[in-house]
Structure 1
Amino acid sequence: MDSIILIFICLLAGVALKRITAVPANAHVALNQFVIYISLPALALYYIPKIEISAKLLYPLGAAWIGFLLSWVIFSMLGKMFSWPKKLIGCLVLTAGLGNTSFVGFPVIEALYGKHGLETAIIVDQPGTFVVMATLGIIVAAAYSKEVAGASGILRKIIVFPPFLAFFTGAVMNVFGYDFIDILQPVFQKLGSTVTPVALVAVGMQLKIELRSRHWGFLGLGLLYKLILMPALFYLLYKSILGGDGLEIDVAIMEAAMAPMITAAILASAHGLKPRLAGMMIGVGIPLSFLTLALWYYILNTF
């Protein structure tokens, strides 16, 4: 519960800071960069070397990787059909394709399914959502940003992206069975724990919900996919088509139904991909997701 309270406090703090004249108007840019250059690499260096690779990863991993790829396909097709600008397509792919599987997901899953459920949730988040963000996410952000052109420019952007460098380092260490010395572990853990509060304050500073905003239609499409269509896909795939059952399946579906990923909004904003819409996906999506999560929990336990 304390994690959920912190989400709303940090969002409101960001909104309040935006109204204080002593705070620079572009302060959110510095916060975004802190998350990208400090918090996310620390998170990768702490968790990636510790991931145990096994067959049990398949269902949870699918919830992150397939969900993002489908988001990319759907919003790219819609963008071509309706001639949407590239920045809009990129924003929707990122924010609708990546779920808040940790800061919202962990406490919700632990409350509903206990410690065993949390173990599956960690698999969805670390080798799933986080790695998707650090690889495919940066590809999308670079490809749909006007700042980068051509395959070489996108590749360069990926190679110098700090979370990707940290992920690559952690992955190599994982393969060879190494981890950082004990004295560094709490350092990485504490730096990584700053992701959510700092990112949420930055999102709150950019959050501007206008009743007459042109973003409402796109917000509805993004949240429809993230909160309803994505979990429905995995419900049909895992339970109806593959005939799966059990705790791992239910947790994977619930994690697929989580609100948009906070870091995805930061990534979109940092690359100029409709920052206001990205902020609305978080600001509206998180509270709305508690209603849709209750619906999915009822479905999983009834049918």
Structure 2
Amino acid sequence: MDSIILIFICMLAGVAAQRVKAFPPNSHTALNQFVIHISLPGLALYYIPKIAINSSLLYPLGVSWISFALSFAFFAGLGKIFNWPRKLTGCLILTGGLGNTSFVGFPIIEALYGKAGLETAIIVDQPGTFVVMATLGIVVAAAYSKGAVGGSAIIRKIIFFPPFVAFFIGLMMNVAGYDFIEDVDLVFQRLGSTVTPVALVAVGMQLKIDPKSKHYKFLATGLFFKLMIMPAFFALLYKIILKGDGLMIDVSVVESAMAPMITAAILAASHGLKPRLAGMMIGVGIPLSFITVAFWYYIVNLL
């Protein structure tokens, strides 16, 4: 419960900071860079070396990787049909394809399924959502931004993207069966724990609800895809077509219903992909998801 309270307090603090003259208008940019260069690498170096890799990961892993592929197909397709600007398409692919499977997902899953459910939620998040963000996410962000989009430019962005560098180091440590000593490990844990408050304050600083905004129809499309179409797809695939059953399947489906990923909005904003829309996807999507997740939890229990 404290994690959910933290989410709303930090977001409201960011909104309030818009009216405080001590904060420069571009303060959110510095906070975004702090998350990308310090918080996320710390998170990767703490969690990735500890993940147990085995075949049981396929269902929860599939949530993140399939979600992003579907998001790309859905929004890239709509973008071509309706001739959307590339920045708009990129923003929706990122925020529609990456779910908030940890900062919102963990406390909700623990409340619904207990500590046992958290084991599956961590698999969905760390080798799933986080790795997709650090690889395919940066590819999309680079390809749809106004900068160079050549293959070599995208590869350089991935290789030098701090969270990906940290992920690669953590993966090599995992394969070698090595982890940091306790004191160093705790440092990375504390650095990683700054993702939620710092990122949400940054989102709040960018959140502007303009009644005349042209973003609302895109916001509605993005959130309907993320909060309704995506969990419907996984409920159909995992529970009906593949006839999956048990805690891991149920948690995987409910995790697919989570609000857009905070870091996805940060990634979109840092690449100039409709920052205001990205912020609205988080600011509106998180509170709305508490209703839609409850709906999908009920549906999963019926199947």
Taking structure 2 as the reference length, the TM-score comes to 0.99
The Cα of 1:302 is off from its aligned counterpart by 2.1
Paired residue secondary structure (1:279): helix
The Cα of 1:149 is off from its aligned counterpart by 2.3
Q: Following the alignment from structure 1 to structure 2, what is the Cα–Cα distance between the partners of residues 161 and 46?
A: 17
Paired residue secondary structure (1:286): helix
Q: Following the alignment from structure 1 to structure 2, what is the Cα–Cα distance between the partners of residues 147 and 202?
A: 23
Q: Gapped runs of 5+ residues in structure 1?
A: none
The answer to whether residue 243 in structure 2 is matched with residue 252 in structure 1 is: no
Q: Following the alignment from structure 2 to structure 1, what is the Cα–Cα distance between the partners of residues 88 and 79?
A: 8
Q: How many residue pairs align between the two structures?
A: 303
Q: Following the alignment from structure 1 to structure 2, what is the Cα–Cα distance between the partners of residues 183 and 297?
A: 39
**Structure 1 segment 179-258 matched on structure 2, within 5 A:** 179-258=179-258
Aligned to 1:122: 122
Aligned to 1:262: 262
Aligned to 1:57: 57
Q: Following the alignment from structure 2 to structure 1, what is the Cα–Cα distance between the partners of residues 148 and 57?
A: 34
Deviations 1:195-232 (A, max 9, x none): 01000000000001112210000001100110000011
The Cα of 1:255 is off from its aligned counterpart by 0.3
Q: Following the alignment from structure 1 to structure 2, what is the Cα–Cα distance between the partners of residues 48 and 88?
A: 32
Q: Following the alignment from structure 1 to structure 2, what is the Cα–Cα distance between the partners of residues 149 and 93?
A: 17
The Cα of 1:240 is off from its aligned counterpart by 1.0
Deviations 1:82-110 (A, max 9, x none): 11011001100000100000011001000
The answer to whether residue 27 in structure 2 is matched with residue 7 in structure 1 is: no
Aligned to 2:26: 26
The Cα of 1:259 is off from its aligned counterpart by 0.4
Aligned to 1:46: 46
The Cα of 1:56 is off from its aligned counterpart by 1.1
Q: Following the alignment from structure 2 to structure 1, what is the Cα–Cα distance between the partners of residues 14 and 250?
A: 34
**Structure 1 segment 11-160 matched on structure 2, within 5 A:** 11-160=11-160
Q: Following the alignment from structure 2 to structure 1, what is the Cα–Cα distance between the partners of residues 203 and 92?
A: 16
Q: Following the alignment from structure 1 to structure 2, what is the Cα–Cα distance between the partners of residues 116 and 13?
A: 33
Seq. identity, %: 74
The Cα of 1:148 is off from its aligned counterpart by 2.5
What amino acid maps onto 1:245 in structure 2?
Answer: D
Q: Following the alignment from structure 1 to structure 2, what is the Cα–Cα distance between the partners of residues 83 and 298?
A: 38
What amino acid maps onto 2:253 in structure 1?
Answer: I
Paired residue secondary structure (1:272): coil
Q: Following the alignment from structure 2 to structure 1, what is the Cα–Cα distance between the partners of residues 87 and 262?
A: 18
Deviations 1:87-141 (A, max 9, x none): 0011000001000000110010001001111100000000000000011001111
Q: Gapped runs of 5+ residues in structure 2?
A: none
What amino acid maps onto 1:43 in structure 2?
Answer: L
What amino acid maps onto 1:99 in structure 2?
Answer: G
Q: Following the alignment from structure 2 to structure 1, what is the Cα–Cα distance between the partners of residues 92 and 125?
A: 20
What amino acid maps onto 2:186 in structure 1?
Answer: P
What amino acid maps onto 2:88 in structure 1?
Answer: L
The Cα of 1:41 is off from its aligned counterpart by 0.3
Q: Which 10-residue stretch deviates more, 293-302 or 57-66?
A: 293-302
What amino acid maps onto 2:174 in structure 1?
Answer: N
What amino acid maps onto 1:217 in structure 2?
Answer: K
Deviations 1:164-212 (A, max 9, x none): 0000111111111111122201100000000010000000000011122
The answer to whether residue 293 in structure 2 is matched with residue 293 in structure 1 is: yes
